[in-house]
Amino acid sequence: MATQTDPTPRIPLTRERVLRAAITLADAGGIEALSMRRLGQELGVEAMSLYNHVANKDDVLDGMVDAVVGEINDIVSEIEMPSGDWVTAARRRILSARSVLLRHPWAPGVLESRTNMTAPMLRYFDGLIGLVREAGFSVDLTHHAMHALGSRALGFTQELYDDSDDLSDEAMMMFLQQMSGEYPHLVGMVQEISHDDDSTLGWCDDQTEFEFALDLILDGLERLRAAG
Amino acid sequence: MATQTDPTPRIPLTRERVLRAAITLADAGGIEALSMRRLGQELGVEAMSLYNHVANKDDVLDGMVDAVVGEINDIVSEIEMPSGDWVTAARRRILSARSVLLRHPWAPGVLESRTNMTAPMLRYFDGLIGLVREAGFSVDLTHHAMHALGSRALGFTQELYDDSDDLSDEAMMMFLQQMSGEYPHLVGMVQEISHDDDSTLGWCDDQTEFEFALDLILDGLERLRAAG
DNA sequence: ACCTGAACACCGTTCAAGT
DNA sequence: ACCTGAACACCGTTCAAGT
């Protein structure tokens, strides 16, 4: 008898495991799929047991964000930096951060709902600040730069319009025809753009638009740096 | 007898009144203070009665956003436009939009949570698109410009860090001292900036930072237009 | 036509009770 | 030390019943 091991020994619940399960849940079903009860269920435990390892749901969300930003920091720290070209260096960091966030679509929304900076975020921004300071940015310009980049520094911007469930091409054309009276400039733009493009899919390439705006800002900042 | 009017005749419930009450509630207590039950209570009615005038809570949120964007459209349509200077014209529109949103602090968050464009938003963007097209923007540059501005076109950007409940000056200095080892660049920046500034209040002026980023983007776009 | 009360199916969180 | 069951105080929403 004595200490015969259980046939399926229960892995002990830890904060780590809770957060990992929460991220998996959110990755798969979106953030609205994440409830304390569902999370407990996923871990084979009652929801109330979770409170032995996390303070509350906000603590879970904080932990999830920290894990994702930690993932970003891991990648960024391995990037080799071309010295003397801060624009390329910053660009690489930011696009790397973006690639991580694309795997966690819920992360931007949760990130924006947290108002306090946590250690991993401080670390990320400390690195970016160091980069531009080394490139000769004044303290003031550095400060403005961080605000101008905002969430874009971490690789995301909230889109105001989601074209993921857009109309078919024919339905779209009919819709535009009807709307051209009220919104002539908008409809004109959409029609011309979708005409140029052969793709049946959405007419906005988020990656292209993100990079366009990023380059616009980085170029502007470089101009201000050079002007002194 | 007959139709003697009630001493306090009840104003009939309408969608309009429901939305107005919802906005008042959110302006005063934040968006988390808005529940269907609280809203009914405010209107002297059971929560369930609201469903005779709005489809559901999402419909309420949609209506609230439309009302605010409508307010923006009203102001923007009255602005006189200096012809031939699209940068100034766009700047005025956007800062006007911002001034409206500052009176409805809940609006940015709700705006971002809506993924479908509604009539007032389409109208706002149609106007902005018309403005830059008239200034000689190509269709492609116009499209990029709208994405680059993003929510900034409507006068807001989500800040990643809220310094509204910041530490006192002394506490801040001690905190920075402790953190300078881990985040040397960040701490260095904050220390230098707060040293330059006499204000005891938060060290970031949101309005200044918003305008800096806006001008950076507008100038970049103007450069691309001119290069053309 | 509009409003209500009761009910349903969910939340996050507490607390005393179990082992 | 950790987990549980019951309970509390909230949600949004439905539906049959009232007037």
For residue B32, what is the domain's CATH number? 1.10.10.60
Distance of CA A149 to the CA centre of its chain: 14
**What does the pLDDT read at residue B106?**
97
Of all nucleotides in the shown strands, which has a C1' nearest the CA of B13? Answer: C2
Structural domain includes residue B106:
yes
Residues on chain A touching B136 (C-beta within 8 angstroms):
none
Whether the pLDDT of residue A182 is over 70: the answer is yes
In a domain, B144, yes or no: yes
Q: Token pair of B220, please?
A: 């970049």
A218 and A140 in a common domain: yes
> Closest Cα partner for A34 from A42, A20, A22, A52?
A22
A185, A195, A208, A217, best to mutate vs chain B, most B CBs in 10 Å: A185
Instruction: Classify residue B70 as left (phi > 0), alpha (psi -120 to 50) or beta.
Output: alpha
Average pLDDT over residues A74-83: 87
Domain count, chain A: 2
Q: Rounded to an integer, what distance in angstroms lies between the CA atom of residue B223 and that of residue B228?
A: 8
Q: What average pLDDT does the structure give for chain A?
A: 91
The partner residue sitting opposite A139, judged by closest CB among B117, B183, B193, is: B193
Instruction: Specify whether the CB–CB gap between A201 and B201 falls below 8 A.
Output: no
Residue B154 CB contacts under 8 Å (≥ 6 apart), including other chains: A160, B69, B72, B94, B97, B101, B111, B121, B124
Q: Examine the domain organization and report whether B38 and B105 are in the same domain.
A: no
**Among the partner residues A130, A162, A209, nearest to B144 by beta-carbon distance:** A209
Contacts of B175 (CB under 8 A, 6+ apart): B167
B111 and B192 together in one domain: yes
Higher pLDDT, A60 or B174: A60
Contact A185, B129 (CB under 8 A): yes
Residue A149 near residue A217, CB atoms below 8 Å: yes
Cβ-defined contact of B160 to A217 (cutoff 8 Å): no
B45: left (phi over 0), alpha (psi -120 to 50) or beta: beta
Of A156, A74, A145, A75, nearest in space to A110 by CA: A156
The pLDDT value given to residue B35: 97
B19 and B94 both lie in a single domain = no
Residue B116 DSSP label: S
**Is residue B2 assigned to a domain?**
no
Task: List the one residue out of A155, A197, A190 whose CA is nearest residue B117.
Answer: A190
Same domain for B189 and B145: yes
CATH code, domain carrying B217: 1.10.357.10
Conformational region of residue A30, where left means phi above 0, alpha means psi within -120 to 50, and beta covers everything else: left
Both B42 and B132 in one domain: the answer is no
The closest alpha carbon to B196, from A44, A87, A142, belongs to A142
Residues B214, B120 within the same domain: yes
Contact assessment for residue B65 and residue B110, using Cβ atoms and an 8 Å cutoff: yes
Give pLDDT tens digits along chain B (228 positions). 333 444 445 678 999 999 999 999 999 999 999 999 999 999 999 999 999 999 999 999 999 999 999 999 999 999 887 778 999 999 999 999 999 999 999 999 999 999 889 999 999 999 999 999 999 999 999 999 999 999 999 999 988 888 776 678 788 889 889 999 999 999 999 999 877 665 545 578 899 999 999 999 999 999 999 998
Task: Give the model's confidence band at A198: pLDDT under 50 very low, under 70 low, under 90 confident, else very high.
Answer: low
Same domain assignment for residues A127 and A50: no
Structure tokens at A188: 């004109």
Single out the residue of B46, B43, B35 nearest to residue B15, CA to CA.
B43
Split at pLDDT 50, 70, 90, the class of A204 is confident
* Residues A142, A162: Cα–Cα separation, whole Å: 32
pTM across the whole model: 0.92
Task: Note whether residue A130 is domain-resident.
Answer: yes
- Least confident range of A69-83, A90-104, B131-145: A69-83
Q: A207 phi and psi, to 5 degrees?
A: -65, -45
CB of A193 within 8 Å of a chain B CB? The answer is yes
User: A199: closest CA among A208, A186, A212?
Assistant: A208
Q: What is the largest CA-CA distance in chain B?
A: 84
Tell me the pLDDT tens digit for each residue of A126-147. 999 999 999 999 999 999 999 9
Question: What pLDDT is stored for residue B6 in this prediction?
Answer: 40
Domain that holds residue B111: 66-227
> Is there a contact between A90 and A131 (Cβ–Cβ < 8 Å)?
yes
Residues A107 and A139 in one domain: yes
What angle (nearest 5°) sits at the alpha carbon of residue B116, between those of residues B110 and B122? Answer: 100
Same domain, yes or no, for A49 and A73? no
pLDDT of residue B4: 40
Contact A219, B220 (CB under 8 A): yes
Q: At what angle do helices B57-77 and B119-134 cross, to 10 degrees?
A: 30
Contacts of B139 in chain A (CB under 8 A): 188-189, 192-193
Is some CB atom of chain A closer than 8 A to the CB atom of B115? yes
- A148 contacts B160? CB cut-off 8 A: no
B72, B33: one domain: no
Residue B5 lies in a domain: no
Q: Is the pLDDT of residue A179 over 50?
A: yes
Mean pLDDT value across residues A4-23:
77
Query: Measured on CA atoms in the order B185, B191, B194, B196, is the torsion positive or negative?
Result: negative
Q: Using CB atoms within 10 Å of the CB of residue A205, give its burial: 0 to 12 exposed, 13 to 18 middle, 19+ buried.
A: middle
Q: Which helix (H) or strand (E) holds A111?
A: helix A107-113
Domain presence at residue B202: yes
Is a pLDDT exceeding 90 seen at residue A157? yes
Task: Please check whether residue B4 lies inside any domain of the structure.
Answer: no
A20 shares its domain with A95: no
Answer whether residue B146 is part of any domain: yes
